[in-house]
Structure 1
């Protein structure tokens, strides 16, 4: 990222406090609005963009905002691993696991190809491809943690993934009704295609307990693929930076932490009561990161991006949805 507000410098604990305090207030507002059915991450990033463009934020906030946009973001992705168990994913069976892999692989490759045709920058199309194909804003943030994209590209990708995911959340049940899908298959389709975990939970919950379980497990299987995809992205980044000496690790530390949390949850040592708490903690951490990222984005820069990312987001949503539907029908 290029903004000075997002480049941490050596500091004392006290220099973090102003930025973290403002971030904490923004997170509290985001969580309050989120409790009414709106994505807390979306609210946080909108607040960040508004503050960054309408207010002159004091320089004293820079260090705390930088800490939130980098460190808290990565911790949030690590905590995300506590929602997964290998056993639940394995129980899907080889056919549904193959569908999940196909959705992620075809979704990413198709989005990257379409993005190239539309003239979208390489980093922007990679952010959109992973966000739309894997797990929404968390995937966008994870990719940014590896490739260090521009703030406006990250904010755009997150905004698109939330907007299109919300649209899919509303339209998918209607489409399922029109083509006569039973609730269980609708839940599988939702889990394999809708972008955010929270959006999948909302759709699955409206269909009944069994459909909810199907939707969530399939969605979490997509989330699990975040680790190998980030490893592949990191290897690509290492090759591009071979001449500069700034090569990232093959498996970034936060991805290793994510896998460690998956392994820990899979042992059965984590009490069930911890999981919803971890989910809330993850939302708080990622909301903090979204707000901090938003403060570094400038609306004038979005005009430079043009309509191409919007078109790419729509195309990616359609591709992922169709691959998920076709795969679900074939697998079941």
Structure 2
């Protein structure tokens, strides 16, 4: 007769065995990126996160085998959030306060306008407004997570399943592209580190690329970008409720929203609070400092592995196989968001 603990451990062991190939592949890409980075620096200062992303995309073909899918998904969905939550140890609450109400207002206005533009572009190009809502939410809030949450309140239409899939892939692909393009744009516009962080956090769709883009520039830029992005993440629930309400008013039917709480964001803020209070407790600093150093290092590696997994799961061919109108809508919402944020940052005092 099997011992109860053995029976309980078996499903866990099976689950870990399913995750191991994908995690090992992403870790191998992350290690390769750290080894290649010093060599790449001889030609151009390319950050290890960008190199991990590019290596991952190059290996998308073999990485598409089913054996890797569970582990890669875990890295992008779970490991990424753990690593982001640990970033809270680098940031004090005063940093959030320093962003000011003008930044919050800029993010709110640009998000609302982006949502409206998604619906308008879809209508103008003869697509279902449901896709416009999906594209608008993915661009305005947080990419794939916002797409899946919004799909729960968008009424059924013939292409809904395909549109949800395309929007998730497009959010990853476009975020990956702008992750590389937006930092040079900020430099060309003469933005300082805080303004650069605001732009990256307010315009890039997915959290992974916000982190990769921001910290590839500098820690200060990355910290600001993550704070602004988390503000957008916290707005996911009201955005989805508003979209559902609009469809109820428009068509009298909408699904029930099932929006997962942003637990990682709450942990991030809790760790920000801990980091903010520690200077006032000098007696605890000797014990806190090594713990903070270890968790910060774990966060760095977690982010690198998650970025590698993101690249391994990104297929350019899938994006190019979709109709031009879908691509045009998503590109339109992306450009609207960028234009509004850049304009706002240029006129803000």
Match of 2:144 in 1: 141
Write the mapping of 1:47-62 to structure 2, written as runs, cut at 5 A. Answer: 47-52=59-64, 57=65, 61=67
Q: TM-score, normalised by structure 1?
A: 0.66
Q: Does residue 94 in structure 1 map to residue 101 in structure 2?
A: yes
Match of 1:183 in 2: 192
**Residue in structure 2 matching 1:158, options 153, 172, 176:** 172
Change in Cα spacing, 1:328 to 1:156, as seen in structure 2 (3 Å) is: closer
Q: Does residue 65 in structure 1 map to residue 69 in structure 2?
A: yes
2:32 and 2:112 mapped to 1: Cα distance?
34
Structure 1 residues without counterparts, runs of 5 or longer: 1-10, 206-211
Q: CA deviation at 1:72?
A: 6.0
Q: Does residue 202 in structure 1 map to residue 211 in structure 2?
A: no
Question: Which string of whole-angstrom CA distances, capped at 9 and with x for unpartnered residues, describes residues 109-146 of structure 1?
Answer: 32343244345666765564445445xxxx22322553
Write the mapping of 1:293-332 to structure 2, written as runs, cut at 5 A. Answer: 299=317, 302=319, 305-332=322-349
Match of 1:228 in 2: 235
Matched positions, count: 291
Q: CA deviation at 1:89?
A: 1.6
Which segment is superposed worse, 313-322 or 185-194? 185-194
Which segment is superposed worse, 281-290 or 159-168? 281-290
Match of 1:209 in 2: none
Structure 2 residues without counterparts, runs of 5 or longer: 1-9, 38-46, 153-160, 205-209, 279-287
Write the mapping of 1:273-292 to structure 2, written as runs, cut at 5 A. Answer: 273=293, 274-285=295-306, 287-288=308-309, 291=312
**Residue in structure 2 matching 1:167, options 181, 184, 187:** 181
Given that residues 194 and 200 in structure 1 are in contact (C-alpha distance below 8 angstroms), is that contact kept between their aligned partners in structure 2? no
Q: CA deviation at 1:73?
A: 0.6
Q: CA deviation at 1:187?
A: 2.8
Change in Cα spacing, 1:14 to 1:96, as seen in structure 2 (3 Å) is: closer
Given that residues 201 and 227 in structure 2 are in contact (C-alpha distance below 8 angstroms), is that contact kept between their aligned partners in structure 1? no
Given that residues 230 and 265 in structure 2 are in contact (C-alpha distance below 8 angstroms), is that contact kept between their aligned partners in structure 1? no
Q: CA deviation at 1:226?
A: 0.5
Write the mapping of 1:191-270 to structure 2, written as runs, cut at 5 A. Answer: 191=200, 194-195=203-204, 196-203=210-217, 205=218, 213=220, 216-230=223-237, 232-233=239-240, 247=256, 249=258, 251-253=259-261, 255-268=262-275
RMSD, aligned α-carbons: 4.2
Who wins on radius of gyration, i.e. which is larger? 2
1:197 and 1:79 mapped to 2: Cα distance?
10
Instruction: Provide the secondary structure at the position in 2 that maps to 1:252.
Output: coil
1:101 and 1:194 mapped to 2: Cα distance?
12
Question: Which string of whole-angstrom CA distances, capped at 9 and with x for unpartnered residues, describes residues 56-75 of structure 1?
Answer: x46xx3xx734652686145
Instruction: Provide the secondary structure at the position in 2 that maps to 1:162.
Output: helix
